[in-house]
Amino acid sequence: MGIIETLWQILTSPPVFIPLIFPGFVTLLIVLLLLIWFERKLTAKVQMRYGPLYIFKAFGGIIQMVADLLKYLFSEFIVPKDADKKVFILAPILFFTFTLLPLVAIPISSTFTATQSDLTLILVPAIGTLAPLMVILIGWSSNNKYSFIGSLREGYIMMTYEIPMFISVLAMALTYNSLNLIEIANKQTGLWGIVLNPLAAITFFGTLLMTTARFPFDISEAESEIVVGPYTEYSGIVFVLCLGAPYVKLYVLSLFYSIVFLGGWNPLFWPLNTNPILPGLALLVKGAIIMALAVFMRTIYPRYRLDQALRLGWHKLFVLSILSVILSLVLFGLGVL
């Protein structure tokens, strides 16, 4: 066996392929570039503007994000004098890492997975909960009132969305009688999760908007109120990490959403769903629809106030999530599942 073959084998083995190529770094980078471009272009279209245009004009400025990234890469990273320096530098890096990490638990076909675990359904949101803590650290270490207010808001919102999110995931666990994402996807050959338990699907989408700071829950980084919230003091490439992390989270949760609620790689059937390419593509397309929907909210809604978002979270989403559990139990009792 030659060295190239060995390398190829290592590269295509799930524990390397998933974090590095798909849905990991390489795909992530492309998706982020396209997603942010799409968001800006779509918003511009609604708002009677052009949006990104001049960089690679033939494709409507599609690589505008590359240019922006380069610009940030070469701008100076300033650490404020009064900041807690170690935390100030480490927190955004950890923030980005923790938002990205759940990707390793996402399977891309019924056989191709990096995490052999029966608990992947709760592993993905569980790792995700670490990220908002880093936002609070960011705000605290920056020693700036806007950062501080922003991170406090993030803290409050985190309390609000985590619980309905986990309860709606629990409802789906009851629906499928499993905590394994591969099993869950395989069980959706007939009806998809969104049909089986629409309440959980709605709740999860609401919490997804909250956790990724999409409108109308763009509260922690409200531009007209507190500059950019927790990230006010950041500059250069670390600022990009801070701004990119919500999009990464959106990507991760969209993939998660499409497995749990949108049937994963179904309606592809055996043997098509064992090869990682086609199922992965199906997953990505479904995820892209969710992502597009989430970024489209920007053009429709203004921003909720913090207390209103909290009220919405506790009074509506929380109740909805409880109802979704009851719905699952009823379905289970009736023997539908």
Partner 1 sequence: MRLVAEVDGDIIIAFEPNIGYVHRAVEKIAETKTYLQIIPLVERPMLPDTASANLGYILALEKLLDVEIPQRAQYLRMLLCEMSRIHSHLYGLGIFGNMIGSSTMFEWAFADREPFLELTQQWTGARLTASFMVPGGVRRDLPPDFTGKVLKAVAYMEQRLKDYDKIFVNNPVTIARLNGVGVIKKSEAARLGIVGPNLRASGVAYDTRKVEPYCAYGDVDFELVVREEGDCYARLLVRREEMKQSIKLIRQILDKLPSGPFFAEKYAKLINPKMKALMDQSGILRFPAVFSSLKPAKGDAISRVEAGRGELFYYIVSDGTAQPYRFRMVTPSFKNVIAFKSALLGARLADVPSVYGSLDYFPPEADR
3-state helix, strand, coil in the chain (%, to 5): 70, 0, 30
List the interface residues with partner 1, window 213-252 (CB under 8 A). 215-216, 218-219, 222-225
Is residue 49 near partner 1 by the rule CB under 8 A? yes
- Whether the Cβ atoms of residue 305 and residue 219 lie closer than 8 Å to each other: yes
Taking the complex as a whole, the smallest distance from the CB of residue 296 to partner 1 amounts, in Å, to 11
User: Tokens 């499409």 identify what position?
Assistant: 258
Taking the complex as a whole, the smallest distance from the CB of residue 72 to partner 1 amounts, in Å, to 22
Nearest alpha-carbon partner for 230 in 294, 157, 164: 157
Nearest alpha-carbon partner for 89 in 247, 241, 222, 246: 241
Taking the complex as a whole, the smallest distance from the CB of residue 328 to partner 1 amounts, in Å, to 29
Between residues 28 and 227, which has the closer beta carbon with respect to partner 1?
Answer: 227
Sequence letter at residue 325: V
Between residues 153 and 286, which has the closer beta carbon with respect to partner 1?
Answer: 153
DSSP state of 79: P
Phi and psi (nearest 5°) for 311?
-65, -45
List the interface residues with partner 1, window 275-334 (CB under 8 A). 298-308
Q: Is 200 exposed, middle or buried (0-12, 13-18, 19+ CB in 10 A)?
A: buried
- Look up residue 35 and give its two tokens: 């997603």
DSSP state of 105: G
Is residue 118 near partner 1 by the rule CB under 8 A? no
The dihedral built from the CA positions of residue 207, 151, 299 and 225, taken in this order, carries a sign that is positive
Taking the complex as a whole, the smallest distance from the CB of residue 127 to partner 1 amounts, in Å, to 30
Between residues 121 and 306, which has the closer beta carbon with respect to partner 1?
Answer: 306
Among 48, 59, 76, 81, binds partner 1 (CB under 8 A): 48
Site string for partner 1, 77-96 (x = CB under 8 A): --------------------
Among 7, 10, 46, 336, binds partner 1 (CB under 8 A): 46
Cα separation, 184 vs 192, in Å, equals: 10
Cα separation, 15 vs 26, in Å, equals: 15
Taking the complex as a whole, the smallest distance from the CB of residue 158 to partner 1 amounts, in Å, to 17
Taking the complex as a whole, the smallest distance from the CB of residue 200 to partner 1 amounts, in Å, to 23
- Look up residue 316 and give its two tokens: 């509506």
Is residue 35 near partner 1 by the rule CB under 8 A? no
Taking the complex as a whole, the smallest distance from the CB of residue 144 to partner 1 amounts, in Å, to 15
Q: What is the largest CA-CA distance in the chain?
A: 64
Task: Give the angle 230-231-237 at the CA atoms, nearest 5°.
Answer: 155
Taking the complex as a whole, the smallest distance from the CB of residue 307 to partner 1 amounts, in Å, to 7
Is residue 47 near partner 1 by the rule CB under 8 A? yes
Q: How many residues bind partner 1 (CB under 8 A)?
A: 25
Is residue 149 near partner 1 by the rule CB under 8 A? yes
Between residues 32 and 152, which has the closer beta carbon with respect to partner 1?
Answer: 152
List the interface residues with partner 1, window 150-209 (CB under 8 A). none
Between residues 289 and 298, which has the closer beta carbon with respect to partner 1?
Answer: 298
Cα separation, 83 vs 63, in Å, equals: 34
Between residues 2 and 302, which has the closer beta carbon with respect to partner 1?
Answer: 302
Peptide bond into 279 cis (omega under 30): no
Taking the complex as a whole, the smallest distance from the CB of residue 81 to partner 1 amounts, in Å, to 24
Is residue 210 near partner 1 by the rule CB under 8 A? no
Residues contributing to the site for partner 1 (CB under 8 A): 43, 46-49, 149, 215-216, 218-219, 222-225, 298-308
